[in-house]
Every structure is written in structure tokens, then in C-alpha cells.
């Protein structure tokens, strides 16, 4: 009798445990589902500071989910070209992309704010505007019409003005200059006579070598060295007023993003921030040595003449007034960024800029 009662109790307990496990397992599985995504990359594998951010992102997402969430990073052209990344995310061809807002200003000019505004903010200021000044929300309000959502995906920091076959001694030298220059910088310089051209990274060197281009800009020393521009043009200009900051973004199909468990969304946000920071660190640690090597190889550092800079600033302000009248989204983003810039520049002048200027001037004394 005792054995029979005991056996019934054991069986009952086992049944209850099995029932509880049956109820609990779907909840656990639902919170950590197995997901396989693809990410199209707009930057070539040959540029590790850019491409490496996407690789780091995918690796960290996998580690944070014990391998349950896998993202396959695909180089430009494996599925779509660099400039088709937004289309691919929008229509669900891929779930995600690592790209630049500048590539899509032909669709909506306000996408430029995902990268950075010429004569706008430096990298740290842009980060502050993006994360705490409403920049991310404004950018995603524009992306909403394209079934996409974005988080920061790296920042190169201030870039160089590019390699030129001939010296630029005054603004007059820009007239007729065939220049590979991206984003709004091209539109600003076009007002000054530049023949602006947008060419993917892999096609820039051949165009410069053949003489199809008179000058090219891409990024900073670490990337420009790898692209080999010094072999065909020796004047290396500073600074890129059109990219005092150049942010990339991780872009996701909105429906796919919304379908993720909140825990996975949090992982993407946090891992994305790690990859974003890593890119800046990577450029900061590689640009200096690359610049020294290129100078040794014959690069001649030049500063753009003041009359060109002043004319470019005037052209930029005229362009922004025009674009604000054409695009409500641009106007909203522009007013937000300019107000933020007005708040941060006074501190930068008495704090960060003053410190950096002193350290640059005295770098040989310690």
C-alpha cells in the first residue's frame, strides 16, 4: 500500500514537473530564438576600419546570444552594390546593412544627417547630438518612410580633403576640377565650379590613374594609403570641411526589427555602440602612422586656401537655405543640429580645442 501510494506521488510529481517544463520551454525559446540574418556591407573588405566594424558587430551579437542570433556580413556586390543597401533593407532582400546615409541623399536629402553635415559637428559632437540631442530620432523618422530603422555604426572622425594632381592655390583653381567627392560636399563645391562625381571606393584609383579625375577624396590616411592614391597624385589636402565627422549606420528592416524580442533589440543597440566606438578608436590609432608613411613616400601636405574655405562656407549656407525650403525633413534636422552646434562650440573653444591646440604646439617638448 505504501509503495503504491509513494509511486503515485512520484508519478504525479514527475507529471507536474513535465507539465511545468512544457509550459516554461516555449517562453525560454521565445525569448532566445534562433535567428539568421544577412547584412549587406557598403564598404570594401580592403578597408578594415570600416568593414571591421560590421564584422565585430556580427561576432559580438553571436557571442551575446550564445550563437542563437547569427548575422552574415556580405561584401558590396555579393548581393547588392554599396548604393543599393537601403533598397535591399527596405524590400527585405536582406535584414540589415552597414552603410552611409550619404549614399541615399538622392532619395531624401535629410539622409545626409546620418553621416554628418559639411561645416557641422566633429565626431564627438555628432555622437552627442545623435544620442542625446535627438539626432537618432530625427534620422529614424525619415527612415520610417523606407521601412527601416538605424543605429550608429561607426565614425571615422575628421577626414582629409583628398589627393590632388595639382595644387589648389585659390578658389579659382576649382573651376572645371573633376573631383570625386561625396554627399553634400559635392553640391557645395559644384557651386564653385567643381565637376563633382560620386564613384564607389573600388573604382576611384583607376579613374584617378587614367586622368578621368583630377582629385579624389575618400577618408583619412589609413584608408587613403590602402587605396594607393599617393601613387598617382602627391598633393594631400586638409581638411575635409564636408566630413569633419563621418558616421556610418547599421540599418535594419523595420518589420524584422520589431519582430525581435526586446532582449535582442537591446543586444543590437549595445553591441552596435561597441562597434561604433571601435571604429573611431581604430581610425585614431591607424591614421597617424599611415600619414607618416605617405609623407615618407612623397605626399605633400597642403591646406586649402582661405578664400576657398570662405567661399565654400558661403556656398554651404546658401545650399542649406535652399534645401530647407525643399525638404521639411532636412529643415527639421538642420535646425536641430545648428542649435546643438551653437551650444557646444563655446565649450569646445575654451576646453577641448584649447587643450588640443596646446598639446599639438608643444608635442616635441615632452
Domain residue ranges of the chain, discontinuous segments joined by +: 29-156+245-284
Instruction: Note the pLDDT of residue 24.
Output: 46
State yes or no: pLDDT of 342 exceeds 60: yes
pLDDT single digits (tens) 134-191: 999 999 999 999 999 999 999 999 999 999 999 999 999 999 999 999 889 999 999 9
Alpha-carbon distance values, 157 to 124, 255, 274 (Å): 8, 32, 16
| 235-238 sheet: strands from edge to edge | 195-197, 178-180, 215-216, 162-164, 235-238, 300-303
pLDDT single digits (tens) 20-57: 444 444 444 457 899 999 999 999 999 999 999 999 99
Average pLDDT over every residue of 262-273: 98
What CATH code is assigned to 29-156+245-284? Answer: 3.40.190.170
State yes or no: pLDDT of 13 exceeds 50: no
Instruction: Note the pLDDT of residue 22.
Output: 40
Rounded mean pLDDT of the chain? 91
Task: Please indicate whether residue 211 or residue 20 has the higher confidence score (pLDDT).
Answer: 211
Asked whether the whole model's pTM tops 0.75, one would answer: yes
Alpha-carbon distance values, 309 to 10, 34, 123, 188, 341 (Å): 84, 53, 20, 11, 19
Instruction: Note the pLDDT of residue 30.
Output: 58
Average pLDDT over every residue of 1-10: 44
Instruction: Note the pLDDT of residue 32.
Output: 84
Nearest CA to 85 among 43, 45, 142, 137?
A: 43
Instruction: Note the pLDDT of residue 7.
Output: 42
State yes or no: pLDDT of 352 exceeds 90: yes
Residue length, the chain? 366
State yes or no: pLDDT of 322 exceeds 80: yes
For residue 361, give the C-alpha cell.
604646439
DSSP H or E segment with residue 126: helix 123-132
Amino acid at each position: 500500500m505504501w509503495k503504491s501510494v509513494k509511486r503515485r506521488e512520484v508519478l504525479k510529481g514527475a507529471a507536474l514537473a513535465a507539465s511545468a517544463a512544457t509550459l516554461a520551454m516555449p517562453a525560454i525559446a521565445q525569448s532566445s530564438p534562433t535567428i539568421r540574418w544577412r547584412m549587406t556591407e557598403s564598404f570594401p573588405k580592403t578597408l578594415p576600419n570600416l568593414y571591421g566594424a560590421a564584422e565585430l558587430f556580427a561576432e559580438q551579437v553571436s557571442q551575446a546570444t550564445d550563437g542563437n542570433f547569427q548575422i552574415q556580413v556580405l561584401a558590396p556586390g555579393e548581393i547588392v552594390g554599396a548604393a543599393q543597401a537601403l533598397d535591399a533593407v527596405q524590400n527585405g532582400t536582406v535584414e540589415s546593412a552597414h552603410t552611409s546615409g550619404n549614399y541615399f541623399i538622392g532619395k531624401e536629402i535629410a539622409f545626409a544627417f546620418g553621416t554628418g553635415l559639411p561645416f557641422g559637428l566633429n565626431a564627438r559632437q555628432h555622437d552627442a547630438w545623435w544620442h542625446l540631442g535627438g539626432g537618432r530620432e530625427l534620422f529614424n523618422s525619415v527612415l520610417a518612410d523606407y521601412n527601416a530603422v538605424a543605429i550608429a555604426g561607426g565614425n571615422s572622425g575628421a577626414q582629409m580633403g583628398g589627393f590632388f594632381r595639382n595644387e589648389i592655390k585659390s578658389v579659382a583653381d576649382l573651376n572645371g576640377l573633376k573631383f570625386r567627392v561625396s554627399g553634400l560636399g559635392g553640391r557645395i563645391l559644384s557651386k564653385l565650379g567643381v565637376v563633382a562625381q560620386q564613384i564607389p571606393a573600388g573604382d576611384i584609383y583607376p579613374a584617378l590613374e587614367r586622368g578621368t579625375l583630377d582629385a579624389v577624396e575618400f577618408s583619412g590616411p589609413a584608408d587613403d594609403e590602402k587605396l594607393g592614391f599617393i601613387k598617382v597624385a602627391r598633393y594631400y589636402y586638409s581638411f575635409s570641411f564636408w566630413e569633419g565627422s563621418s558616421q556610418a549606420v547599421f540599418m535594419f528592416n523595420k518589420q524584422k526589427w520589431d519582430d525581435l524580442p526586446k532582449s535582442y533589440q537591446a543586444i543590437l543597440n549595445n553591441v552596435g555602440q561597441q562597434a561604433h566606438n571601435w571604429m573611431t578608436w581604430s581610425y585614431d590609432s591607424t591614421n597617424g602612422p599611415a600619414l607618416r608613411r605617405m609623407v615618407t613616400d612623397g605626399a605633400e601636405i597642403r591646406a586649402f586656401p582661405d578664400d576657398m574655405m570662405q567661399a565654400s562656407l558661403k556656398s554651404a549656407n546658401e545650399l542649406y537655405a535652399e534645401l530647407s525650403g525643399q525638404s521639411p525633413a532636412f529643415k527639421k534636422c538642420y535646425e536641430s543640429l545648428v542649435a546643438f552646434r551653437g551650444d557646444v562650440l563655446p565649450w569646445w573653444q575654451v576646453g577641448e580645442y584649447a587643450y588640443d591646440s596646446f598639446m599639438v604646439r608643444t608635442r616635441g617638448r615632452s
